[in-house]
Amino acid sequence: MEKQNYYIKWAAILAAIAVCFGALGAHTLEKLLVPKSLIAWETAVRYQLIHAVVILIISLNDKLISERNIHRILNFLILGILFFSGSIYLLSTQSLTGFNVYFLGPITPIGGVLIITAWILVFLHAVKTNKTK
């Protein structure tokens, strides 16, 4: 139960940040960023919000997935969001912040791979569970 609350807290904070960043993009950044950067920002928000909800759903259904697998899946999702969306937020706003963060470019696909890995683990768990029934 303690671990479940840990992941629920992660889901809640990631979802809240995504909503805040979505509002920031829609009401402030749309006037300040070039369209390509704004589209990237919106992509980061969308991926973060979707996967925050996935973290919440998986953590609330901890009886369906083994404890070892659930921690692995949820940790991959959290790291994936932080790497994927976090790097996009920083890269898309560097014209505003003045920070040269081009070195973060390779972090974005690493985050994507982490998220994909989590989904593959969910799939593999479902295949394994189906075989044991």
Query: Which pLDDT tens digit goes with each residue over 38-63?
Result: 999 999 999 999 999 999 999 998 77
In a domain, 132, yes or no: no
Q: Structurally, how many domains does the chain consist of?
A: 1
pLDDT in tens, 84-129: 999 999 999 999 999 999 999 999 999 999 999 999 999 998 888 7
In a domain, 15, yes or no: yes
Kindly report whether the global pTM for this prediction surpasses the value 0.85. yes
Structural domain that includes position 81: 2-127
Quote the distance between the C-alpha of residue 35 and its chain's center: 22
Joined tokens for residue 85: 């969306």
In a domain, 82, yes or no: yes
Other CB atoms within a 10 A radius of the CB of residue 123 amount to 10
